[in-house]
Structure 1
Amino acid sequence: MSARSTKRPQMTLDDFEALERGAPETVTLEFIAGKLEVKPVPDGDHAEIAMWLLLQCMQRRPDLALYPEQGLAVEQYRAGRARPDGSLAPRGSFAGKGEWADPSEVLMVVEVTSHDSDTDLRDRPEKKDGYAAAGIPVFLLIDRDRHTLTIYSEPEGGTYLLDPAFAHGTTVEIPDPVGITLDTEPLKDFAT
């Protein structure tokens, strides 16, 4: 167990959920690794990347939907709460599930980095570990600072065993159970 995982959470899960319910619509809160996180409001390039991926997924896997900002209950050991930029799951997976859904039907989560001081810790190690702990098969990190896509897959023991990174502009294979190919050339225009 890492030193990080032995620290006490900042608040209880009930306190977090009460705080999140009362937050204004312009603020998105998450509870990652026992800490309250404020997710920044996306900029236009962030939105364009999300739309690019949404269209790619719809064209290649019409049986699935890429749900934006769906709340997921992750990190069994800390009862974390995350709102990925996208959650790829069979259509209808979140009907009647409430604000913080069980991620068991999610095939892939997506995060697009933001240009803020917390993105390095929040999007790269903390959320990755939470998604792996929840058993989500694939985590796609679209990193605008590094101009890469990293595909984390094969979760085991709270970590992903595979994590190849690809430069924007390359053709990328997202492994099963997603099983799609992405031409990432358009990302060069939005990764500024």
Structure 2
Amino acid sequence: MQHDGYGYVIPDATLIPAELDLLLDAEPWMPSEGVAMVMEVTSSKPDRDRVAKRHCHARAGIPLYLLVDRSKSTITLFSEPAGEDYVGNTTTPFGKPLPLPAPFSFDLETADFL
């Protein structure tokens, strides 16, 4: 996904409503319009996932950013992008469900994350 002149970000997962057919014949890099949620799992550079990528996804206007933080044993859903960051966030420890809003509308079970 290209982010308004800030370069490219490769999320660990990108969720797009199937009815949009955005991935059919898509280029390796695609605009963020239509993306419902991106997900990152912290790696050897966790601050990049916690801060830098979060800001990139917010700038791109991606409605939901799900961060699986392995070192903190938490999962955080960031919502309501506004400029450089997200206004809303909900964090839950591994083992507890995390409610996902529409268009998903289900509780993400995290027991297997332990």
1:119 is matched with which residue?
46
- Contact 1:73–1:100 (CA<8 Å) still a contact in 2? yes
> Which of the numbers 83, 102, 106 marks the counterpart of 2:31?
102
Aligned-partner SS, 2:62: coil
Question: Larger Rg: 1 or 2?
Answer: 1
> Which of the numbers 162, 168, 173 marks the counterpart of 2:88?
162
Higher helix share: 1
Q: Runs (4+) of structure 1 moved beyond 6 Å?
A: none
The answer to whether structure 1 residue 143 and structure 2 residue 69 are counterparts is yes
Aligned-partner SS, 1:165: strand
CA–CA separation in structure 2 for the residues paired with 1:181 and 1:160:
21
1:81 is matched with which residue?
8
Residue 168 of structure 1 aligns to which amino acid in structure 2? Answer: F
CA–CA separation in structure 2 for the residues paired with 1:158 and 1:138:
14
Any gaps of 5 or more consecutive residues in structure 2?
A: none
Any gaps of 5 or more consecutive residues in structure 1?
A: 1-71
Shift of 1:82: 1.1
Task: Give the structure-2-normalised TM-score.
Answer: 0.91
CA–CA separation in structure 1 for the residues paired with 2:83 and 2:104:
21
Count how many residue pairs are aligned between Structure 1 and Structure 2. 112
The answer to whether structure 1 residue 153 and structure 2 residue 79 are counterparts is yes
Residue by residue over 1:114-166, the C-alpha shift from the partner in whole angstroms, topping out at 9 and shown as x without a partner, is 2x2x222x101100000000000000000000000010001112310011211
CA–CA separation in structure 1 for the residues paired with 2:12 and 2:102:
20
1:59 is matched with which residue?
none
Aligned-partner SS, 1:104: coil
What value does the CA root-mean-square deviation take over the aligned residues? 1.2
The answer to whether structure 1 residue 179 and structure 2 residue 105 are counterparts is yes
